[in-house]
Structures are given as C-alpha cells and as structure tokens.
Structure 1
Amino acid sequence: MTVDSQGTASAAPQDAPGRAAGKSQTPPSPSGSKEVLQPSRGRRSLPSGLLPYLLVAPALLSMAVLLLYPLIRNVMLSFQQLNRKEFITRETIWIGFDNYTDLLSDSQFWTVVVRSVVFTAVNVALIMAIGTGVGLLLNRLGKKMRLVLSLALMLAWAMPIIASVTVFRWLFDEQFGVVNWVMRTLGFSGYEQHNWFETGFSTLVIILILLVWGSVPFVALNMYAALTTVGTELYEAAKMDGASGWRTFWSVVFPNLKSFFMITTFLEIIWIFKAFAQVYAMNQGGPDRGSETLPVFAYIEGVGQFHYGVAAAISVLTIVMLIAVMSFYFRLILKQEEEL
C-alpha cells in the first residue's frame, strides 16, 4: 500500500508473501500421470523359490521312508530266490524274471486272480446298490429316524475289523450259531450243526456279507451328503413332468452326482481288492486255500510256505493291477476337468 501526496491510500501490486511462497511450491502433476500403488501391508506375496519345496519336504521324506523304500525292497525281492534256506543263510540269489514267469504259467495263480476279480466285482456292485438305496432313504426320512439310522451306520462303520469278523464267526458257528438256529426255526432241514465254512465258496459268501455290511455306511452317508447339493427345484420339475421315482433318479440324481458315483466306485474297488484282514481272519484262506484272494495268496506263499520271492512277485503284480485301475480312473478325472 502507498500513500500519495494528498494522504490517500492506494493499493499497489506487490508480491504477497503467500504468493511468493506459492511460486516456490511444486507444480501439480500433469493429468496423464499415474500414481504408483504400494502393496497393502495386510497382503503377503506367495512364497517363491525353494520355500514351497522345503514346506513339503517332511511329507515327501516320510512317504519315501514309509512307502517308497519298502516298495523298492519288495521289487528287488521279487527278482530273487528267497526261500527258507536263503532266508536262514542270508544268501542272495538273483534269478531275474523267473518268479514272474512261474506265476504267470501257474494255473493256481490265475484261479486266484479270477476269484479276486469276481469277488471284487460282486462286492462293489452290492455295496454301491445298497449304499445308494440307503442314502436315498436317509434323504427321505424325518429328522429323528435319519439320526437313528445314521448312528446305526456309524456304529457299523466304526467297528474294528477283527471284532466284526469274530461276530460273524459266532453268527455262522456250526454248533451255537444264530444262523443255523434261524434256519431250523423257519423249518429248513439239514441245519443241525451245519458247517458254513466247509467250502471255499460258502466262506467267500460270508466274507462278502461282512464286507458289504462294513462298507455300505461309507457309501450311504456320502450319498446322503451329495444329495443335499441337488436343488429341490429339479425334483419339483421332474414331479410336474410326471416322472416316476426311478426316472427321477436316472434323469436328476445320477447326472448331477456322476462324479460322486465314479469316485466312490473306484475307492470301493481298491478297498475290496486289497482286503486282507477280513479274508484271512475268517478262515485263513481255507478250506484247502479255496477262499484265497491275491493279498492272502501272497501272505500264505511268503509267511506260510517260506517263498518270499514268489510272494513279493505276487504283491508286485497286485500293485500293477491296481495301478491299471487307477490309471483308468485318473483318465476319467482328467477328461471331466477338460469338459469343465
């Protein structure tokens, strides 16, 4: 501000301190510039480098010690002549593929293979059919009855194998068995101290009933859990179209639960095919080795007959059969993933 000669004050353009300071400030960034976003402190980047391998190393090491090493040793034994003499003298005799050629040319081995395959097929078919039916029943029952049936299934599933085998042996006992008493009560003759373990076929039938009884809970409970994922509107649409219960199952339930049926079926194939304790504890593969499956056949050849090399070859061939089944299963899984 300046004062003229007449004493009046007039405003003069002067550099205000604030304006001067404003000149020294940084000019705003151009409109086209982008700001660099800093990563949020709450997020962490995925591990890279060797860290993932270090995290899974303990599991891989445990599998190598508990599974891979015994498998390698078993394969090595299958190429050796290891009988009672070699076992005592600790002598190693390599014979190449002789154990395999002897097995593949042995009619008894193929009899056991056919028996194991048929036994597995019948078991899995019954388990899947009965388990699916029980699962559908669980889906239709009320809350209280569903709870009761679920508890009964869980008790059957949780029973130890040897305990269940002992119970079944009591049920089919020739002198005090409940089954003989029931047959006599119903008026059937010839069941006075009837021996249900007299033949290999009847023994396998009893083992089949045991395996089905013990495996149905797994399928039924999983089936009920899978049914809860099917929308009720699909059932209502099928009902409005006049579809029967069987038609509803094949048109609504099965297409939506196709992956469940496939996975469960392959799991049951593996479970039944390698079942050992139930078959051996029931009648030790007898009578006259008439109820042997491949795992029991390998055990008796090795521990019972002291043919450890042959037993190792049998177990390797059993593993090869299971791998062939599993390869088919994984191929179906990959095909489904490609379709999705």
Structure 2
Amino acid sequence: MSAQTEEAAVTAPRTGKGGAPPPGTPSRRAATAAPYLLILPAAAVIVLLLGWTLVKNGMLSFQNLNPRQLIRHVTEWNGGENYTRTLGSSEFWRVTGRSVAFTAANVVLIMVLGCLVGLLLARLGKKMRLLLSLGLVLAWAMPVVAATTVFQWLFDQRFGVVNYLLDQLGRHSMHGYNWTSGQLSTFFVITVLIVWQSIPFVAINLYAATTTIPKELYEAASLDGAGTWTTFTSVTFPFLRPFFLATTFLEVIWVFKAFTQVFAINEGGPDRLTETLPVYAFVEGMGNQHFGMGAAISILTIVILLALTAYYLRIVLKQEEDEL
C-alpha cells in the first residue's frame, strides 16, 4: 500500500454498517434520541393530566375524608384502613364478580356481532358498503349520554317503542313493562346499549384488516374447492388473528370501565343490583360522601383491570410463542 493510500485510510471518516455513522458519534446519538424527543411533549401532557390525577387519587385513598374534614380543611391519614374495609366487604367481591361477568358477556357479543358486520362490509358492493359504513360511523360518533337517553326513550315503560312493538306482535304482557325494575332486564338494556355502541369500532377495523389479505389466497382456496367456513378458518382468520387479539384487549378495557351507560340507565339499581366497580366507587365516594373509600375502590378497580389485561396478554404471548 502506498503512503498516499495509507494517509487516506487514516483521515477518512469511519462509518458504521450500511454507511451509517458509527456508534458513539454525536450524529448517531442524535439520531437515536430523535424519536424520544418527538414523543416527549405528548408524554409530558399525559403524565401531567393522568399521572398526577392518579397520584392524588392514590393519596386520597389513604385518608379519612368526608364532609367534616372538607369543611374543617383537615387531612386525616388512616393508613390502609380504606383498603382493609373494602377488601373485607362481601359487597365489594359481589360487585367485582358481577363486573367481570358483565364485561365477559358484553365483549363476547361485541366481538361476534362486530366481526359478522365487518365480514358483511367486505362482501357488499361499493354503494351498500358506503351506506352501511355511514350508519356505523354515525352510531359510533353519537355521544354516550345522548345514546343512553335515546335508549331510555326506547325502553320507556309507558311510551317506549320497544314495549309498543312487542305488544303489537302479540306479547301483550309487555305492555307497560318496566325494564329497569329487575336486575336481568336492566342489564339487558345496558348490554344492548353498550354492544350497539361498540359494534362500529370492531366492524370497521375488521373490514380494514380484510383489505390486507391477498386475493390470490382466496382464489387458491376456491380452486381447491374450499367452502365458506374452510376459507374463513384457513385464510381469513389466520391473517386477522392479531386484529382479534388487539381489539378484544381494547374492548375488555372499554367495557370494564363503562360508567355512564350503567349509571344513567338506573343509577346502579334496582337496590344496587346492577352496580359495576366504577359505579360502586362513585356511589361510595360521592353518594355516601366517603371520598377516601371511593378512591380506594377506584384504585382497586385499576389493579383488577391490570390483572385481567396482564392475564390476557400472557395468553396472547403464549399463543404467539407456540406459533413460532
């Protein structure tokens, strides 16, 4: 090697693999830090709005706070007494079991019906697909309080459309029926409302996912003589598995924390038999003015939801490991 070649090799800038700057250089460090700097403002806002609220709620759960303390501006710390009383209450565990069962029933209905509507969207023509998509978007965009009010009108005891139609169809016993007089009937109304609000999200996302499946696979399945069910299980479902897992995860969170629908329909009645954990925390905290107790119940609700989602994610990860 000549002296000029050796000098060029020494003075030339060193680069990493593929021409990238080597690790440790300022440009490489800046490129690595750029994504984190970009999400920093959003992360700061989330921490400020949600994190600080969660911290304050956690502090409140260790206090004995009622109207007396509020008027006197006195902070009375009682350690873990709120948690001990809550966990030792049979009512809390009944509400917890009810919340889990309520969430499971709603999520199953939402996923089944939402997937059927999504598959229908994939098979419709352009005009009918546009019309159905518009209806789904309008139902999805409807505010929760407005939707709840509409369902209260539909199931009204005296002037509700549901009772009128059932009466006209020969079910005369449903004339003047009070849908919020019993636990099961109240839960039925709430479930119909929540499922109706959730189907558009699942259906539209499922349709979007079906557009990523190569059409050649359907053509090959058709040439092999595969029927509708075989095509779905061998072609459609394997491609949509990530969608099913992610959407189910989101629906579990959304249904479990549902408050407005449950409270607005009958305020957790009759006789507090339709209270779920969010409603139970509100009634104990704001209704009975045991604010520390309500905060403790809300923290336990978050812990239970985290446990459910962790268990679900564990199942998902195990399935992915088995497929590898």
Q: TM-score range by the shorter chain?
A: 0.7 to 0.9
Is the aligned partner of 1:254 residue 2:234? Answer: no
CA distance in structure 1 between the aligned counterparts of 2:196 and 2:99, rounded to whole angstroms: 19
The question of whether the paired residues in 1 share the 8 Å contact of 2:245 and 2:316 is answered with no
- Give the helix-richer structure, 1 or 2: 2
Aligned to 2:148: 165
Query: 5+ residue gaps in structure 1?
Result: 1-26
Q: Secondary structure at the match of 1:291?
A: coil
Query: Which of these residues, 51, 63, 82, is aligned with residue 65 of structure 2?
Result: 82
Matched, 1:220 2:189: no
- The aligned amino acid for 2:192 is I
Cα shift at 1:33: 6.4
Cα 1:89–1:128 change in 2 (3 A) is: same
Q: Are 1:105 and 2:82 an aligned pair?
A: no
**Aligned mates of 1:83, 1:328 — CA distance in 2:** 36
Equivalent in the alignment of 2:180: 197
Give the TM-score of the pair, scaled to structure 2: 0.87
- Alignment check: 8 A CA contact 1:112 1:293 kept: yes
Aligned with 1:243 (options 219, 222, 226): 226
Matched residue pairs, number? Answer: 311
What are the Cα deviations for residues 279-336 of structure 1, in whole angstroms up to 9, with x where unaligned? 1111111121111111111111111100111111111011111222333455567664
Aligned to 2:266: 283
**Structure 2 CA distance for partners of 1:275 and 1:250, relative to 1, 3 Å:** same
User: Is the 8 Å Cα contact of residues 201 and 290 (structure 1) preserved in structure 2?
Assistant: no
- 1:1-340 superposed matches below 5 A: 36=12, 45=27, 47=30, 55-331=38-314, 336=320
CA contact (8 A) 1:170 1:177 kept: yes
Aligned residues: CA RMSD: 2.8
Q: CA deviation at 1:191?
A: 2.1
Deviation at 1:93, TM superposition (A): 2.0
Q: CA deviation at 1:214?
A: 0.5
Counterparts of 1:79 and 1:30, CA distance in 2:
73
Of the structure 1 ranges 52-61 and 135-144, higher mean CA displacement relative to structure 2 is found in: 52-61
Q: CA deviation at 1:37?
A: 7.0
Indicate the SS of the match to 2:300: helix
Q: Judge which range, 57-66 or 92-101, deviates more.
A: 57-66
SS in 2 for 1:133: helix
Residues 113-134 of structure 1, C-alpha deviations (whole Å, 9 max, x = no match): 1111011001000000001111
Separation in structure 1 between the aligned mates of residue 77 and residue 203 of structure 2, nearest angstrom: 49
Change (3 A) 1:30 1:308: closer
Aligned to 2:18: none
d(CA) in 1 for partners of 2:198 and 2:280?
23
Q: Aligned equivalents of 1:322 and 1:217: distance in 2? A: 24
Q: Deviations over 1:125-161 (max 9, x none)?
A: 0000001111111111111111111111011001111
**Which has the larger Rg?**
1
Tell me the TM-score normalized by structure 1.
Answer: 0.83
Contact 1:174 1:193 in 2 (8 A): yes
Q: Distance in 1 between matches of 2:180 and 2:293?
A: 28
Please list every run of 5 or more consecutive structure 2 residues that lacks an aligned counterpart in the other structure.
16-20
Q: Contact 2:136–2:200 at 8 Å: present in 1 too? A: yes
Q: CA deviation at 1:92?
A: 1.9
Equivalent pairs: percent with the same residue?
A: 53
Distance 2:177 2:316 in 1: 48
User: Which residue does 1:13 correspond to in 2?
Assistant: none
> 1:57, CA displacement in angstroms?
4.0
Is the Cα–Cα contact under 8 Å of residues 139 and 200 in structure 2 kept in the other structure? yes
Q: CA deviation at 1:175?
A: 0.7
Which secondary structure does the structure 2 equivalent of 1:257 belong to? helix
Distance 1:56 1:125 in 2: 35
| Native 8 Å contact 1:301 1:307 kept in 2 | yes
Q: Cα offset for 1:108?
A: 1.1
